[in-house]
Amino acid sequence: MTESGEERRAERVDRLVGDVLAGRHLKATPSDAADREAIRMATQLAGTREGYPRMSPAFRRRLGRMLEKGEAPARLNRRAALTGGLGLAAGALGGSLLAQLEGRLAAFRPHPAGTPDPLAKPPTSRSIIEPRPELARWVDTGLKLTDLAEGVPHRVAAGAIGAFLLRRGDQVVGMSSYCTHLPCELVWQEDRKLLNCPCHNLGFDIEGQSLRDGYPLPALPFVKVRVRNGHVEVLGT
């Protein structure tokens, strides 16, 4: 490839990248096929920048109206309507169908779990919350190691960091107290042995792993914990 040829392609790929990063449609055409691997790598990288992406409230409302009415929202483009089989869909999602769906999907909700052994599963690779160095400091939680019972998470706050602490022998593991689905603070439910999200009723086990089948949420990030002279400290702000 000549230098000017590569520059032209670099210019073109950057225009496509700029659109994607701005949230606009990818405007690639068959003339871009030679660079498809680079373009698709760009979309994959762009796809990770939101962490766990959620639908915008406006789009969610439009989709909700579509499900209620069984017809496409006004802003649905022609391609989506045609390929989506709109004709078949119209009127299909009446009240009885929704009730049926409700019944089926209820099985996805967290159910009472057994008593998991915190030591049975090794911790998986997952992110660790660390405040910016200029703000980070070890915060005394006011708890002693002996205050923590095995198998019962204790919720604490260390400045801006909310955490559940879990005792393992002489050690303490800390994990974020916020759901990785929506930023709602989780609640420990002793009877069900799980951390429950009060916003959407999703659950995490005592290890912080998602209990959702099929497409699990990210595990709860770890927070840094240390025990000094029997006092439990969390790296907070």
Partner 1 sequence: MQRGEPERHGERPGEVVEMPVAPASPVDVALEELEFVYAYIFARVGNRADAEDLTQQVALKAIPRLRSGASVAAIRSYLFATARSALAAFWSARFGLPQEELREDLWVRSEQPEPAGESIERVDRILSKLPANYRKLLELRFLRGYSLKEVAAELGTTLGGIKVMQLRALRAAARVAGDD
Shortest spacing between CB 18 and partner 1, in angstroms? 8
Residues 164 and 222: their CA atoms lie apart, in Å, by: 9
Question: Greatest CA span in the chain, whole angstroms?
Answer: 70
Residues 171 and 189: their CA atoms lie apart, in Å, by: 23
Binding pattern to partner 1, positions 76-115, x when CB under 8 A?
xx-xxx-xxxx-xx--xx---xxxxxx-xxxxx-------
List of residues 6+ apart from 94 with CB closer than 8 A:
70
* Identity of the residue, 156 or 175, whose beta carbon is nearer to partner 1 in the bound complex: 156
Tokens of 101: 């769906």
Contact pick of 110, 118, 158, 174 for partner 1 (by CB under 8 A): 158
Restricting to residues 5-64, name those near partner 1 by CB under 8 A: 6-7, 9-11, 13-14, 17-26, 28-30, 32-33, 35-56, 59-60, 63-64
Contact pick of 110, 118, 143, 175 for partner 1 (by CB under 8 A): 143
Stretch that binds partner 1, among 115-123, 128-136, 170-178, 197-205 (CB under 8 A): 197-205
Binding pattern to partner 1, positions 160-179, x when CB under 8 A?
--------------------
Shortest spacing between CB 120 and partner 1, in angstroms? 20
Q: Measured between alpha carbons, how far is residue 197 from residues 56, 107, 123, 191, 210 in Å?
A: 20, 16, 21, 15, 11
Shortest spacing between CB 127 and partner 1, in angstroms? 8
Contact pick of 113, 116, 131, 155 for partner 1 (by CB under 8 A): 155
Tokens of 114: 């057994």
Residues 39 and 44: their CA atoms lie apart, in Å, by: 9
| Spatial CA neighbour of 177 closest among 188, 192, 190, 191 | 188
